Amino acid sequence: MIIPKKFDLMGTTIEVEYNADMMFDGDAMGQANYRRNKIFIAPNTSTFKMNKEQLEQVFLHELVHWVFHQLKHDDLQKDEELVDQFAELLHQTLKTMQGDFLAPVQTQDGEAIQ
């Protein structure tokens, strides 16, 4: 899985950045910042390292916060256990989507629909 530098969610462009300040602000590895339309992820340093899977999990965790925020479900947005479980399931699904994919959807004439 590749973590994007930015993406759109319900008409909002959200930027993804590494932010070293997170290392000094509690124990968070990521943050969904709604006022700045950003997801912050703690970078790897000499004293703190995350592997690729952990970075992906942090990104997806913050993405799930953003999804619930955009859907105006503040109760779900603040439920860390639900957000974490949802992100884990999403990560597992995205990680295992390799190999054979369905052919593009076609019209009756056999033309691919873009």
**CATH 1.10.10 given to domain 6-95:** yes
Strand partners, 6: 15
pLDDT of 68 reads: 98
Cα gap 1→91, rounded to integer Å:
9
pLDDT of 21 reads: 83
Q: Are 88 and 94 in contact (CB under 8 A)?
A: no
pLDDT of 20 reads: 84
pLDDT of 103 reads: 64
pLDDT of 97 reads: 83
pTM over 0.75: yes
Cα gap 76→24, rounded to integer Å:
27
The position carrying tokens 């969904």 is 32
Residue 20 is classified by DSSP as G
Q: pLDDT of the chain along its 114 residues, tens only?
A: 889 999 999 999 999 999 988 767 677 899 999 999 999 999 988 888 899 999 999 999 999 999 999 999 999 999 999 999 999 999 999 988 876 666 667 666 767 666
Where exactly are the structural domains of the chain? Answer: 6-95
